[in-house]
Structure 1
Amino acid sequence: MDMPKLLDGRLKLRHLLLVDALSRQGSVVGAAAALHITQPVATRSLHDIESILGVSLFDRGPRGITPTIFGEAFTTHARAVIAQLTEAGRHVVELADANRGTVIVGTHLAGSNVLLPGAIARLKVHHPLLTVIVREGTPEQLLTDLEAGRIDLIVGRLTSPTDDTAIRRNLYAESVELVTRVDHPLAHREDVQLEELRGFPWILPGVETVLRRELEEFFARNSLPLPENRVEATSFLTVRQLLVETDMIAVLPSLIPRDDARLTTLSITLDPIGHSVGITSSATRTSSPSAQALIATLESFAAELMRP
């Protein structure tokens, strides 16, 4: 096929935003709603960009759309362009006033209760006018947002090594514990058996997480089915409140109960389940001064957390 002419003026930024939204939403209707345009406009714009490229970017089906190999490849490039333009705008603002920058950090359960709040509090002491925006999400959602420049970095569990798209900095290793409220019927017992736990409701991470797969393997190794009476949640506030108010059992990073007098851990260990907590940033663009300041603060605060 001939090389598509992407610099002749026909390709617009709105085309890149649409491709990104279509890949995230999985439907033209969802993408149109996310971009605040009508469905016919979204459909027409998709036809325009496919005509420019000379290939089909998405397969249409009864349940929505899925990217073709061309769509997956072009979405990656579209997100890189969007991220660079977003960073360019913020760079100009920070050059105009270095003390009034903004850093957007994504987080999930590991690191969200102690590490990130502590680092932000320390950062604000030295940079009171620097705005920190925190966004929660699943690891997969946050990686997509990082790729598209919607966030600057992710704080949480590291599940992959550094690659062409993301740089991962390990801050500390953390065990995973079975956590309940301090006056739970099984709390403070030294002889708790795994089979006893199945009589209580559980809070489990979502099926899309690595920890969930590890828990399924843990139960399988012990010849037990996954608890049927369960809630699936990754929001720290939701999990903590459910633990405090009910007899639920949750699987959480060890720093969470250590920092909350209302929670305790059960005597059963989940070895070999554990994880590294750290920072994930983009490998394709330079971090802004604001992001660099938060990264440096996270590193120093994490070192203090791990001191005996």
Structure 2
Amino acid sequence: MDHIFGPAREADIDLLHGRLKLRHLVVVVAVADQGSVLRAADRLRLAQPAVTRCLRELEQILGVQLFVRGPRGVTPTPSGEAFLEHARAALAELRRAGERVSGLARGAMGTVRVGTLLAGSSVLLPQAIAGLKRTHPGVTVAVHEATFDTHAPRLLAGELDLIVGRLNPITRLGGLRQIKLCNEPMRLVVRRGHPALAQDAPALAGLLAYPWILPLQQTALRREVEQVFADEGLEPPTDLVECTSILTVRALLRQTDMIAVLPEPIVAADRDLAPLAVPLDRIRRPVGVTLPQGRALAPPATLLLDLLRERAAALAGS
């Protein structure tokens, strides 16, 4: 923790065990989330002076300034950002502890927070969630869609319980483990009636005449799609939309002559879409679950993980 307090504060760290209170963590996170002491007080249903006093106590304990006050509210200092990372993780751990205890006592009541990626989110995850809700209606499932690079820090911080989607390299992050569930082939997809469907084996070069929908730049799938073009000696599409939202991609495909790269199960489940006869065998990464290393899952998340495994096995055998 030296990166927060500095070597000169090492002798004072023991004081935290007696002086740092849970209310300090709750207040500092609320102030950061609301961007204002007044709004934080309203959110916590406390008087503004009480929030201000609690914040000052915390800054005195740590010996650093946590926020910069401005005319439009407050902004965390670098020290504040560092402490907030740990405060959020500590509160997340306490939340999970409460959910785990209550889940064991009441039959897995609580919330499971899932980060979802493009692959695995269209068929596998909805089926698993539906199965969970049938057997445990008291469990709430919160699904957050984003890229893996966005989800991974939130998973490490305890804001997510697991990530479902294509398995990405995790060596540079550390603290994560992955479970393979199945393979999801990728296909080039267009609307039914698209002019390119009239060709038995359309050439990739000819498809550049149409607009494309590609994943965001920072995704592994985007890099793999661009490598497919490079292997053919082609530049990637320049007339494109960058998007990883299934709903948006489907709507654009149905209404335009755009071409997208989507998991095969999405195409099979949508009568308005059709695959192009262009092989993408090189893009075939396994779909699975990414979990925090060494952190036990709360009962609702364990139930969902079991159902994901069950549904993946069923889909593989169908």
Indicate the residue corresponding to 1:295 in structure 2. 305
| Structure 2 SS opposite 1:179 | strand
Moved beyond 6 Å, runs of 4+: 41-51, 55-58, 65-68, 70-73
Matched residue type, 1:13:
L
Q: 1:141 aligns with which of 146, 150, 156?
A: 150
Write out per-residue CA displacement over residues 59-110 of structure 1, whole angstroms, 9 at most, x where no aligned residue: xxxxxx9997x88875654443132112123224324422533222221211
How far the C-alpha of 1:235 sits from its partner, in A, is 0.9
Q: Write the distance in 2 (CA, Å) between the matches of 1:127 and 1:81.
A: 28
How far the C-alpha of 1:236 sits from its partner, in A, is 0.8
Q: Write the distance in 1 (CA, Å) between the matches of 2:28 and 2:186.
A: 40
Q: How many residues align?
A: 293
How far the C-alpha of 1:142 sits from its partner, in A, is 1.8
Aligned 8 A contact 2:108 2:299 in 1: no
Matched residue type, 1:136:
E
Check 1:259–1:52 CA distance in 2 against 1; reply closer, same or farther (3 A cut): same
More helix by share: 2
Q: Write the distance in 1 (CA, Å) between the matches of 2:307 and 2:235.
A: 42
Q: 1:157 aligns with which of 166, 183, 186?
A: 166
Aligned 8 A contact 1:176 1:253 in 2: yes
Q: Write the distance in 2 (CA, Å) between the matches of 1:45 and 1:217.
A: 54
Matched residue type, 1:231:
V
Q: Does 1:106 align with 2:115?
A: yes
Write out per-residue CA displacement over residues 167-201 of structure 1, whole angstroms, 9 at most, x where no aligned residue: 21100122221111121111252221111111111
Aligned 8 A contact 2:29 2:84 in 1: no
How far the C-alpha of 1:31 sits from its partner, in A, is 6.7
Q: Give TM-score scaled by structure 1 length.
A: 0.80
Overall identity of the aligned pairs, in %: 44
Aligned 8 A contact 1:15 1:49 in 2: no
Indicate the residue corresponding to 2:260 in structure 1. 250
Aligned 8 A contact 2:112 2:140 in 1: yes
> What 5-or-longer segments of structure 2 have no aligned partner?
1-7, 42-48, 68-74
Q: Does 1:184 align with 2:194?
A: yes
Indicate the residue corresponding to 1:17 in structure 2. 29
Q: Write the distance in 2 (CA, Å) between the matches of 1:157 and 1:226.
A: 22
Check 1:165–1:95 CA distance in 2 against 1; reply closer, same or farther (3 A cut): same
Check 1:71–1:166 CA distance in 2 against 1; reply closer, same or farther (3 A cut): farther
Q: 2:139 aligns with which of 105, 114, 130?
A: 130
Aligned 8 A contact 2:37 2:52 in 1: no
Check 1:295–1:225 CA distance in 2 against 1; reply closer, same or farther (3 A cut): same
> What 5-or-longer segments of structure 1 have no aligned partner?
22-29, 59-64
Check 1:71–1:273 CA distance in 2 against 1; reply closer, same or farther (3 A cut): farther
Greater Cα radius of gyration, structure 1 or 2? 2
Superposition RMSD in Å: 3.5
Q: 2:214 aligns with which of 192, 204, 208?
A: 204
Q: 2:230 aligns with which of 205, 220, 223?
A: 220
Q: Give TM-score scaled by structure 2 length.
A: 0.78
Aligned 8 A contact 2:147 2:219 in 1: yes
Aligned 8 A contact 2:148 2:168 in 1: no
Check 1:66–1:132 CA distance in 2 against 1; reply closer, same or farther (3 A cut): closer
Aligned 8 A contact 1:203 1:250 in 2: yes
Q: Write the distance in 2 (CA, Å) between the matches of 1:197 and 1:43.
A: 61
How far the C-alpha of 1:281 sits from its partner, in A, is 1.9
Q: Write the distance in 2 (CA, Å) between the matches of 1:114 and 1:225.
A: 32
How far the C-alpha of 1:218 sits from its partner, in A, is 2.6
Q: Does 1:306 align with 2:309?
A: no
Aligned 8 A contact 1:188 1:266 in 2: no
Indicate the residue corresponding to 2:71 in structure 1. none
Indicate the residue corresponding to 1:32 in structure 2. 35
| Structure 2 SS opposite 1:274 | coil
Q: Write the distance in 2 (CA, Å) between the matches of 1:35 and 1:167.
A: 41
